[in-house]
């Protein structure tokens, strides 16, 4: 695979109408496989709180945990741009404080960018970071860190008033210097309108086909996460079934005494 995807390259892809492909990654081995599959952006999402840690939502995830996973993903990625979520609590407060957290992420993990949730309310923070050349991906619509404010993982941007708010959020983060924006859990027509209005790429998840790119949580795409199953997920593999079958076969062979065979041992 050629050299690493860059911020200017993502802008060029939007202008050329070339769709951007993104998946979440949390560890070295998976990151390596996704990278070899030609993914453009590996997102170290704080969804790891749910799919890796088994938490109810993303709120308990810490900055140290994000850095730990982002470092592993970065070691597996030759081609994809690696972007790491700033977890709940790390992007609140003054720009300098958020900058310190974001600098730690880039320095300690080696990834190329951070992502943070929020529109108008985060625009000033995004500007603080981007003016200091720290690449920021934004995230608006159904922002999972706001789960308690929304009263659950609920679709956003329905109705004129809410739609106007999402549009305003997307425009604010683009104007503040974000290099791309995730549009999550909003009506497809609204996502298409946002995409047409913005000069930066939009990456959709549960936002229809009119975005400049798409992202899915890899554990959903691969059928490995058996918790909440949002309607927008398409499973490209029944990974859970495949793993149960493989480990079940291993267990049977151990119990029958047919594994290990002579070929798995060492000569004296």
Using only the alpha carbons of the chain, give its radius of gyration. Answer: 20
Site string for ligand KIV, 179-198 (x = CB under 6 A): ---x-x--------------
**215 belongs to the binding site for ligand KIV (CB under 6 A):** yes
Distances (CA, A) of 132 to 117, 126, 248: 19, 10, 52
3-state secondary structure of 144: helix
Among 46, 169, 171, 212, binds ligand KIV (CB under 6 A): 46
**205 belongs to the binding site for ligand KIV (CB under 6 A):** yes
Question: Which residue stretch of 43-51, 100-108, 128-136, 234-242 sits at the interface with ligand KIV (rule: CB under 6 A)?
Answer: 43-51
* H helical segments located in 110-211: 120-131, 147-150, 159-175, 188-197
- Whether 263 sits among the annotated catalytic residues: the reply is no
* Contacts (CB under 6 A) with ligand KIV, residues 69-98: 85
Buried b (16+ CB within 10 A) or exposed e, 132-163: eebbbbbbbbbbbbbbeeeeeeebbbeeeebb
Q: How far is the CB of 259 from ligand KIV (least distance, A)?
A: 37
Q: How far is the CB of 128 from ligand KIV (least distance, A)?
A: 21
Chain-centre distance for alpha carbon 210: 19
Q: Give the integer Cα–Cα distance in Å for 116 and 267.
A: 55
Question: Which residue stretch of 38-46, 66-74, 152-160, 222-230 sits at the interface with ligand KIV (rule: CB under 6 A)?
Answer: 38-46
| Binding-residue total with ligand KIV (CB under 6 A) | 12
* Contacts (CB under 6 A) with ligand KIV, residues 102-161: 139
Indicate which residue of 9, 161, 184, 256 is catalytic: 184
* H helical segments located in the chain: 7-16, 28-36, 48-51, 63-76, 95-109, 120-131, 147-150, 159-175, 188-197, 218-221, 239-256
**63 belongs to the binding site for ligand KIV (CB under 6 A):** no
Site string for ligand KIV, 13-32 (x = CB under 6 A): -----------x--------
Please report, as ranges, the residues that interact with ligand KIV according to CB under 6 A: 24, 43, 45-47, 85, 139, 182, 184, 205, 215, 217
């Amino acid at each position: 695979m050629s050299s690493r995807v860059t911020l200017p390259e993502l802008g060029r892809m939007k202008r050329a109408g070339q769709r951007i492909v993104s998946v979440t990654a949390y560890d070295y081995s998976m990151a390596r496989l996704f990278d070899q599959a030609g993914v453009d952006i590996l997102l170290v999402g704080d969804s790891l709180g749910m799919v890796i840690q088994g938490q109810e939502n993303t709120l308990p995830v810490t900055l140290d945990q994000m850095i730990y996973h982002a470092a592993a993903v970065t070691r597996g990625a030759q081609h994809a741009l690696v972007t790491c979520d700033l977890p709940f609590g790390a992007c609140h407060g003054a720009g300098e404080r958020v900058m310190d957290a974001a600098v730690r992420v880039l320095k300690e993990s080696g990834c190329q960018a951070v992502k943070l949730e929020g529109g108008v309310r985060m625009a000033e923070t995004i500007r603080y970071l981007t003016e200091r050349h720290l690449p920021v991906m934004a995230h608006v619509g159904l922002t999972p860190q706001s789960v308690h404010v929304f009263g659950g993982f609920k679709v956003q941007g329905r109705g004129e008033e809410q739609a106007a708010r999402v549009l305003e959020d997307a425009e604010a983060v683009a104007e503040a210097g974000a290099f791309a924006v995730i549009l999550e859990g909003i009506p497809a027509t609204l996502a298409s309108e946002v995409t047409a209005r913005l000069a930066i790429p939009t990456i959709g998840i549960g936002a229809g086909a009119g975005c400049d790119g798409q992202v899915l949580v890899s554990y959903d795409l691969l059928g490995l996460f058996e918790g909440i199953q949002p309607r927008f997920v398409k499973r490209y593999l029944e990974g859970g079934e495949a793993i149960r079958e493989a480990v079940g076969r291993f267990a049977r062979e151990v119990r029958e005494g047919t594994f290990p065979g002579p070929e798995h041992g060492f000569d004296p």
